[in-house]
A and B are shown apart, each in its own frame.
Chain A
C-alpha cells in the first residue's frame, strides 16, 4: 500500500512537469503579448521595450520557463502582471471563497444524487421513472447562466428572500446566517448540474448491478429488498461515481466561471477569466498548476477509494 502510494507520487512529478511545459507553451501561443497590453495604446517603442523588460517577457520562451520553474521550486510563484502583487497573495484572496462554494455545491450534489439515482432505478412506478428522466435531462441541458439568472430574478428580485449576488452583506461578514443565504443561490445552481449528471450514473450503474447473479443469490437467501439494495448493490454501483467525484478535485479550486460571474461571487473562476483576458501569465500558471495537482491527487484518492468500496481491487 505504502509502496503503491510512493510510486504514484513519484509518477506525478514528471506528469506535472509535462503539464507545466504544455501550459507555458500554450500561453506563449496565445495572440497578443502582455507587454503591448500593459504598455497601453499611448506607448511608444521604448515604452514597450521597458515594460517587456520589467515583465520579463523580453527573454526567449525557454528562459522564461526556466526562470518560472526555478522560482516555483524555491516557492516563489512570481508577481501578477495585472495586480502587481505576489501571485500567492492574489490566489489566497480568492481560493477560500471558491472552495467554500464548490464544497457546498458538491456536498449538496452528493447528498441528493445518490437517493435520486436509486429511486429512479428501483421505482417500478412509471411516472417516477419518467419524471426522473425528464428532470435529469433538464438539469444537464439548462445552461448554468440562464438558471442562475432565473434564480436571481425569482428569489432575489421578485420574492426578495435571497440576496442578489455577492458573498456576504457588507458589515455582516461574520454572520453565519447571512453567509448561508448568500451561498444558497450559487451552490444550488451548481449542484443542479452535478445532481442531474451523477444521478444518471448511479441509476444506470445500479440497474446493471441489480441484474448480477450475486444479487439474485442475495434475494434467494431471503434478504430484505432494503438490505439487498444498501448492503450488496449500492456499494458496487457507486464505483463510477467515486471516479467522477475524484475528477472534480480540480474544480474545487478552478471554481465555476459562469456561476461566479452571475452571482458576483469573488472566486477563482472570475479571477481566471480576468487573468486570461489580461494575459496575466503568472496567475494563470499558478492556478492551472494547482488544478493539475488536484486532478492528480483526486485520481489517486479515487483509486484508493476504489479499494475501500470494492475489496476485489484492493491494492497491494
Chain B
C-alpha cells in the first residue's frame, strides 16, 4: 500500500508560515478539489525537456522492494508494468494487450485463473525481446525468500504461473484476490536475461535496481547523481508510436519544500507532486504556474487503539467522531483546500455508499454518549469512569506545521466534551516501525493509503487473528468479517457493491477510527508543460509519455 508511505519530508520553515495566517482565507478563491482541469491541450509536439522536482531521494527502482512512492514513480518512467491505473481510477493496458475481466474471458468464472496476453514486438532498451518469461521471473523474484521484497499479501495466494507461449501468462490462485490488478499495476517487469543468473541473495544489491537499465518504459536511464538528480531520455522504440513526445526528463531531488517552490518560480523546476496545503497560496501567485488539485483516495485518519479499555467502548469512539467539527476543520483551518472524509472508501469509488452517517458536529450527542458509557466529568472537566480517565496521547509525525494545526483544532473541541488529548511528535520510523504495527499507542495521526479495489477494506478491519496487514487499531467484529470476506470472494460488481454498502454502514455505526479529510494532491505545473494528468490512486508521471512542451 504505497500511498501510505508518502513521507512528505521538509522542515516547516518560517517563510511559509509567515505567508499565511492560520485561519485567514487566501485572497484568491482556492480551486475546488476535483474541479481542476488539466492544462488545455493543443497539438502535441515532439522534443524538449522537462524538469520534475522530487521532495525525496528514491532508493531502489522496483515496487516490491522500495517503500517509497517516489522510487516507484521513477521506476514506472523507465520501466513498465503489465497494466496501469488512469486518472479516473480505471485499469488500462500497458505491457498487457487487454485488462483481464470476467467479461472478456481472461478471468475464469470462478475468479481463480487470470490470463494476461502480452503485446507483441516489445523490446527491452537493449534490444532484446520482452516475453512471458520475464513476467514469470518477476513473480519468482517477488516470492523468493532471499529477496528483501516487502509485504507479499496477494502474491502469496498464487498457486502456479503457466506460460502457454511467449506472449501469454496465466496466474492460478488458491483463493480469489479481487485486488490483484492493484498489485500488478505497481510491479514493473524484471529483465530475465539480465538478472536471471544472479544469485537471489545478491539480487537486491544488483546495479539494475539503481538504473532499471535495460527497462521497457517510455524513457531510458541516463544517469543518477545521488542527492542531486536523475536523468532519463526518450525511448525511440517505445511501443506507442510517436510517444513519448519529450526528449528528456530531469528529476531533481530537492528535499526542502520552500526551495522547491522557489525553483518553480524561477522556472528551474516545471512540475512537482504532493505539494503541501501551506504552499498553495504562494504558488497561486505565480502567473506561469497552473495549480492542479485532485482528491487523493487516501484519507487523513486518527488511528484509535481499540484494545485500550476506554477506547474499546463503541460509545467513546462515536463521541470522538461527533465531537469535532469536520466542516470547520476542512473549510476554515484547511481553507477549503480539502474535503471532509467519513469512510475509507472515497466518494469517487464505485464501492462508495452514501447511506451513512457523516458525523455532523454534535457535541450534545457526544456528551450524551459519554454519559451513557459512564464517563462523568471530573473536577478538571475531563471525564472519568472509575480509575479510567479520558486522557490520550496522539502520536504525530513531526515536521509539518499543518498537522499540528489540525490536531490542535480537534483537540480543543474534544476538550469541550471532556476528552483530553496531547500531541506527541515522533519520527517516521517510530510511527510505522513501532507504534502502529505493535499497537504501542493510544491514538495516532497519519494518512492511510488504499487500492482502487475496495477489497483493501478487509486489511483495515478484519479481526486481528485473521492477520490483516493494516488493522492498526486491532478492531474486531466477526459479523463485519463475514461480509468483508464474502465481498472479496466474488468479482460480481453488483453483489460486491451491495455487500460493501452493508459493510460501510456497519463500520459507520461502530467506527473503529476517526476519519478527518481526504488528502488533496496539489500539483503545480509550469504552463509550458502540457498533457499532465493526475493520478489520484496511482503513481504520478504514469502518463509521462504523453507530456509535451510548447515553443
Report A's interface with B, CB cutoff 8 A.
30-45, 47, 50-51, 54-55, 79, 82-86, 90, 93-94, 97, 143, 145-146, 149, 152-153, 156-157, 160, 163-167, 170, 258, 261-267, 270-271, 274, 276-279
Determine, out of B238-246, B255-263, B272-280, B412-420, the stretch whose residues face the partner at the interface: B255-263
Tell me the residues in window 421-451 of chain B with beta carbons closer than 8 Å to chain A beta carbons: 426-438
Query: How many angstroms from the CA of A85 to the CA of B204 in the assembled complex?
Result: 8
Query: Whole-angstrom distance from the CB of A286 to the nearest CB of chain B?
Result: 15
Contact A166 B252 (CB under 8 A): yes
Contact B433 A152 (CB under 8 A): no
Contact B227 A164 (CB under 8 A): no
Determine, out of B9-17, B110-118, B359-367, B377-385, the stretch whose residues face the partner at the interface: B9-17
Contact B11 A84 (CB under 8 A): no
> Inside 8 A of A163's CB, which chain B residues have their CB?
268
- CB-nearest residue of chain A relative to B151? A42
Among B146, B225, B258, B431, contact of A149 (Cβ-Cβ < 8 Å)? B258
Contact A149 B13 (CB under 8 A): yes
> Inside 8 A of B15's CB, which chain A residues have their CB?
146, 149, 153
Contact B259 A152 (CB under 8 A): yes
> Inside 8 A of A54's CB, which chain B residues have their CB?
146, 148, 201
> Inside 8 A of A267's CB, which chain B residues have their CB?
227
Contact B228 A261 (CB under 8 A): no
Contact A41 B470 (CB under 8 A): yes
Among B4, B227, B263, contact of A93 (Cβ-Cβ < 8 Å)? B227
Contact B262 A43 (CB under 8 A): no
Query: How many angstroms from the CA of A307 to the CA of B339 in the assembled complex?
Result: 69
Is B145 an interface position by the 8 A CB rule?
Answer: yes
Among A45, A86, A145, A266, contact of B226 (Cβ-Cβ < 8 Å)? A266
What is the total number of residues of chain B having a CB less than 8 Å from a CB of chain A? 61
> Inside 8 A of A36's CB, which chain B residues have their CB?
432-434, 437-438
Query: Whole-angstrom distance from the CB of B449 to the nearest CB of chain A?
Result: 8
Given contacts A43-B469, A266-B253, contact A32 B427 (CB under 8 A): yes
Query: What are 18 A-B contacts defined by CB distance under 8 Å?
Result: A32-B435, A41-B432, A42-B470, A45-B467, A82-B59, A84-B205, A86-B205, A146-B15, A163-B268, A164-B259, A164-B266, A170-B229, A261-B259, A264-B252, A264-B253, A276-B427, A277-B7, A277-B429
- CB-nearest residue of chain A relative to B263? A164
- A38-B150, A39-B150 known; 5 new pairs, CB 8 Å cut-off, are A32-B427, A37-B432, A41-B432, A83-B210, A277-B7
Contact A264 B67 (CB under 8 A): no
Query: Whole-angstrom distance from the CB of A56 to the nearest CB of chain B?
Result: 11
> Inside 8 A of B259's CB, which chain A residues have their CB?
152, 164-165, 261-264
Contact B150 A156 (CB under 8 A): no
> Inside 8 A of B153's CB, which chain A residues have their CB?
42-44
Among A32, A146, A261, contact of B14 (Cβ-Cβ < 8 Å)? A146
> Inside 8 A of A153's CB, which chain B residues have their CB?
15, 262
Query: Whole-angstrom distance from the CB of B186 to the nearest CB of chain A?
Result: 11
Interface string of B49-75 (1 = CB under 8 A from A): 000000001011000010100000000
Among A38, A97, A165, contact of B148 (Cβ-Cβ < 8 Å)? A38
Query: How many angstroms from the CA of A85 to the CA of B266 in the assembled complex?
Result: 35
Contact A271 B227 (CB under 8 A): yes
Contact B14 A31 (CB under 8 A): no
- For the complex of A and B, list the 4 residue pairs with the smallest distance between their C-beta atoms, beginning with the closest: A266-B227, A42-B151, A32-B433, A32-B429
Among A34, A84, A261, A263, contact of B204 (Cβ-Cβ < 8 Å)? A84
- CB-nearest residue of chain A relative to B209? A84
> Inside 8 A of B358's CB, which chain A residues have their CB?
none
> Inside 8 A of A262's CB, which chain B residues have their CB?
256, 258-259
Among B7, B150, B210, B263, contact of A42 (Cβ-Cβ < 8 Å)? B150
Given contacts A167-B228, A270-B255, contact A84 B59 (CB under 8 A): yes
Query: How many angstroms from the CA of A35 to the CA of B228 in the assembled complex?
Result: 28
> Inside 8 A of A279's CB, which chain B residues have their CB?
429, 433
Is B254 an interface position by the 8 A CB rule?
Answer: yes
> Inside 8 A of B268's CB, which chain A residues have their CB?
163-164
